[in-house]
């Protein structure tokens, strides 16, 4: 019991931290979008609009939790929980600082890719169970987008695995003591970020829920806290991709000694979260066919070429 207790405590702290971050990212995104678009953001509910998160939460809890009579009720209810569960599972393998992680798996990177693959079930089941043509179209778009870009994400990370010689995220961070992998794997980083944006279906890749075409896509029929679960899952996904980008390409917790490792990790992750928000403020949404064409005709050959060059360099260095 004494061995399990620290892990249970760490899990509770992590869950509380992540759900709090996901909630406050709503406020941060609205304030940053307002700043970058030269307009007022939330400024009525509390100082600087800070209580807008509380207001939104109360609204979601008390909003009518309606299930359409034509929906498959069981799957309709289960679907929103899957995206949150798969994203939260991915956080257990991230090393936040030396000794601060839940599971130091030897296949940590593969576990992350597996969990991100399972996240697509939430979108597909939610869209199908809604028994709505707009929801189904959004679900099909989401499935093809996420499954396709998972391929490029996996290929983009193989260069990091070659250079570090491990799938363990702790080993990958420690392998960057001599220099961050963003220096040696800039192409892999760019592909990973593009694939990460597509995986979280954030702007400009929010094609599964394109309001101008599909009402709200796969979650058109959802309301109340079921809609809130999709919403929280999206912000958790942003935090996860940001944390993984920091871990894999920007040295994780590594940084000058004047700040603790955990602070360095948090600061780097926060910068990437701001980058996600900036994309929403600045880029238009491509067409669905353009998104798929860009992935298979551009990202796939570039990812394979990067893998080939990295493999050749590693072989030459080991001779």
CA geometry: angle 189, 190, 196, nearest 5 deg = 85
Phi, psi (5° rounding) for residue 118?
-70, -20
Burial 99-130 (b: 16+ CB within 10 A, else e): eebbeebeebbebbbebbbebbebbbbbbbbb
- Residues 160-189 have pLDDT tens digits of 999 999 999 999 999 999 889 999 999 999
Residue 267 has pLDDT above 90, yes or no: yes
Q: Are 285 and 40 in contact (CB under 8 A)?
A: no
pTM for this model (two decimals): 0.92
Closest CA to 53 of 81, 80, 20, 84: 20
At 163 the pLDDT is 92
- Residues 106-155 have pLDDT tens digits of 999 999 999 988 888 888 888 888 888 888 888 888 888 888 898 999 99
- Residues 73-104 have pLDDT tens digits of 888 888 888 888 899 899 999 999 998 888 88
- All residues at 6 or more sequence positions from 18 whose CB lies less than 8 Å from its CB, including other chains: 88, 91, 236, 239
Q: Are 123 and 272 in contact (CB under 8 A)?
A: no
- All residues at 6 or more sequence positions from 165 whose CB lies less than 8 Å from its CB, including other chains: 171, 175
Q: How far apart are CA 18 and CA 240, in angstroms?
A: 10
Residue 29 has pLDDT above 80, yes or no: yes
Q: How far apart are CA 312 and CA 90, in angstroms?
A: 31
Residue with tokens 């995104």: 29
Q: Are 172 and 163 in contact (CB under 8 A)?
A: no
At 281 the pLDDT is 82
Q: Are 146 and 93 in contact (CB under 8 A)?
A: no
Residue 280 has pLDDT above 60, yes or no: yes
The pair of three-digit structure tokens given for residue 115, joined into one six-digit string? 């969990």
Kindly indicate the confidence band of residue 42, based on its pLDDT and cuts at 50, 70 and 90.
confident
Residue 1 has pLDDT above 60, yes or no: no
Share of residues in the chain with pLDDT > 90 (%): 33
Closest CA to 42 of 202, 245, 51: 51
Residue 114 host element (H or E)? helix 108-118
At 116 the pLDDT is 86
The pair of three-digit structure tokens given for residue 85, joined into one six-digit string? 């569960």
Q: List, as own/partner pairs, every contact residues 71-74 make where C-beta atoms lie below 8 angstroms and the sequence separation is at least 24, other chains included.
A: 71/129, 71/130, 71/131, 71/221, 72/128, 72/129, 72/131
């Amino acid at each position: 019991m004494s061995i399990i207790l620290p892990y249970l405590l760490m899990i509770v702290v992590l869950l509380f931290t992540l759900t709090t971050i996901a909630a406050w990212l709503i406020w941060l995104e609205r304030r940053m979008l307002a700043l970058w678009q030269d307009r007022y953001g939330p400024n009525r509910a509390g100082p600087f609009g800070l209580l807008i998160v509380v207001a939104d939460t109360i609204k979601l809890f008390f909003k009518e939790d309606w299930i359409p009579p034509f929906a498959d009720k069981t799957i309709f209810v289960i679907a929103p929980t899957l995206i949150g569960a798969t994203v939260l599972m991915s956080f257990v393998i991230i090393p936040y600082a030396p000794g601060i992680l839940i599971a130091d798996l030897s296949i940590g990177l593969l576990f992350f890719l597996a969990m991100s693959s399972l996240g697509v079930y939430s979108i597909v089941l939610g869209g199908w169970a809604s028994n709505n043509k707009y929801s189904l179209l959004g679900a099909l778009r989401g499935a093809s987008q996420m499954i396709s870009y998972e391929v490029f994400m996996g290929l983009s990370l193989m260069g990091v695995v070659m250079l570090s010689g491990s799938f363990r995220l702790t080993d990958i961070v420690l392998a960057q003591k001599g220099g961050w992998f963003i220096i040696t794997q800039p192409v892999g980083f760019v592909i990973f970020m593009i694939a990460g944006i597509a995986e979280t279906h954030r702007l400009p890749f929010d094609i599964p829920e394109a309001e101008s075409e599909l009402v709200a896509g796969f979650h058109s029929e959802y309301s109340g806290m079921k809609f809130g679960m999709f919403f929280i899952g999206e912000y958790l996904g942003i935090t996860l991709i940001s944390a993984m980008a920091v871990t894999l390409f920007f040295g994780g917790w590594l940084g000058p000694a004047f700040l603790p490792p955990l602070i360095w990790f948090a600061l780097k992750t926060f910068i990437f979260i701001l980058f996600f928000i900036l994309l929403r403020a600045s880029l238009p949404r491509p067409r669905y066919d353009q998104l798929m064409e860009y992935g298979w005709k551009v990202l796939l050959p570039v990812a394979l070429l990067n893998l080939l060059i990295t493999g050749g360099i590693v072989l030459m260095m080991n001779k």
